């Protein structure tokens, strides 16, 4: 039995079963205890597919284009990680790779691995373990911090060179709210129910 507390009147009650799109109401004060998102699997899956496409674009195309005295050079995320490694900054290179490339990719792939079979009503023996890993990988995805660092670098380097944003930077800007939206709309309770139904 799972107990849930009201944030308004502190009443404690047994957590009720709530259908998709419904909400639980406190019997004492009438406040909303929680809501179940409607079509959480379908909407989150669509956002996860969009996030995967944006992630590919963010890693495949130039992040920034520098032009100094007529000489243009492009910088990608992978080239930045590689440059840090060659300079002996092994820890920084590994952290940038982990938080901006590996962790987001794992997070999106795990979501796709869990949600696609649920949407199509397929059996997915690894779905339970994969969904647990979604929560474990999430704290390591720090694209927002990386993007702030890029913005600071843009401001500092703008006086020394002509800097233009590449396609990857725009993809990153769209990827952050897309992935955040997918995780915000993901209702774990409904996902666990659907996993149980497809066993």
Check whether residue 156 and residue 88 sit in a common domain.
yes
Predicted local distance difference test score (pLDDT) of residue 1: 60
Check whether residue 80 and residue 93 sit in a common domain.
yes
Helices (runs of H) and strands (runs of E) counted in the chain: 8, 7
Mean pLDDT of 82-106: 89
Q: Beta-carbon neighbour count of residue 26 at 10 Å?
A: 18
Check whether residue 131 and residue 93 sit in a common domain.
yes
Tell me whether strands 12-14 and 3-5 are parallel, antiparallel or unpaired.
antiparallel
Q: How confident is the model at residue 72 (pLDDT cuts 50, 70, 90)?
A: confident
Predicted local distance difference test score (pLDDT) of residue 114: 95
Q: Where are the beta strands (DSSP E) in the chain?
A: 3-5, 12-14, 23-25, 32-35, 64-68, 71-75, 162-165
| Total structural domains within the chain | 2
Mean pLDDT of 110-122: 93
Predicted local distance difference test score (pLDDT) of residue 13: 80
Check whether residue 7 and residue 91 sit in a common domain.
no
Indicate the pTM of the whole model: 0.79
Predicted local distance difference test score (pLDDT) of residue 15: 78
Check whether residue 103 and residue 149 sit in a common domain.
yes
Check whether residue 94 and residue 143 sit in a common domain.
yes
Check whether residue 31 and residue 58 sit in a common domain.
no
Check whether residue 32 and residue 52 sit in a common domain.
no
Check whether residue 69 and residue 18 sit in a common domain.
no
* Full residue range of the structural domain in which residue 16 is found: 1-36
Check whether residue 84 and residue 114 sit in a common domain.
yes
Check whether residue 13 and residue 103 sit in a common domain.
no
Express as a percent the part of the chain with pLDDT over 70.
Answer: 97
pLDDT tens-place string over residues 32-53: 877 777 788 999 999 999 999 9
pLDDT tens-place string over residues 159-176: 777 778 889 889 988 999
pLDDT tens-place string over residues 3-19: 778 888 888 888 777 77
Encoded tokens for 38? 């409607």
Check whether residue 156 and residue 69 sit in a common domain.
yes
Handedness of CA 188, 194, 196, 199 (dihedral sign): negative
């Amino acid at each position: 039995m799972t107990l849930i507390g009201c944030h308004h009147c502190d009443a404690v009650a047994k957590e009720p079963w709530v259908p998709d799109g419904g909400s639980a109401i406190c019997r004492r004060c009438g406040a909303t205890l929680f809501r179940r998102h409607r079509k959480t699997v379908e909407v989150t899956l669509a956002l996860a597919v969009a996030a995967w496409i944006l992630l590919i674009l963010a890693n495949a195309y130039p992040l920034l284009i520098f032009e100094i005295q007529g000489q243009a050079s492009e910088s990608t995320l992978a080239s930045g990680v590689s440059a840090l490694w060659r300079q002996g900054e092994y820890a920084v290179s590994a952290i940038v790779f982990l938080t901006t490339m590996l962790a987001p990719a794992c997070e999106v792939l795990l979501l796709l691995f869990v949600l696609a079979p649920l949407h199509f009503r397929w059996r997915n023996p690894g779905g339970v373990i994969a969904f647990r890993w979604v929560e474990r990988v999430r704290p390591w995805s720090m694209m927002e911090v990386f993007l702030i660092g890029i913005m600071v670098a843009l401001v500092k380097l703008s006086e020394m060179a002509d800097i233009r944003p590449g396609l990857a930077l725009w993809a990153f800007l769209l990827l952050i709210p897309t992935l955040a939206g997918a995780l915000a709309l993901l209702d774990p309770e409904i996902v666990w129910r659907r996993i149980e139904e497809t066993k």
